[in-house]
Amino acid sequence: GRLSYEQFGAFLANVKELNAHKQTRE
């Protein structure tokens, strides 16, 4: 089934946080 908008938003927020941590490392 499709991801709900809420689940998708939570996933995006998670990815954003991971990217932020990666940027801090570099």
Distances 5 to 1, 2, 12, 18, 23 between C-alpha atoms, Å: 12, 9, 10, 20, 27
Q: Does position 2 have pLDDT exceeding 90, yes or no?
A: no
User: Which residues constitute the domain of residue 3?
Assistant: 1-26
Confidence (pLDDT) at 9: 97
Query: From CA 20, how far away is CA 10, in angstroms rounded?
Result: 15
Number of structural domains, the chain?
1
Tokens of 2: 């499709």
- The share of the chain scoring above pLDDT 90, in percent, equals 65
Q: What is the mean pLDDT of residues 4-25?
A: 93
> 0.75 cut: is pTM over it?
no
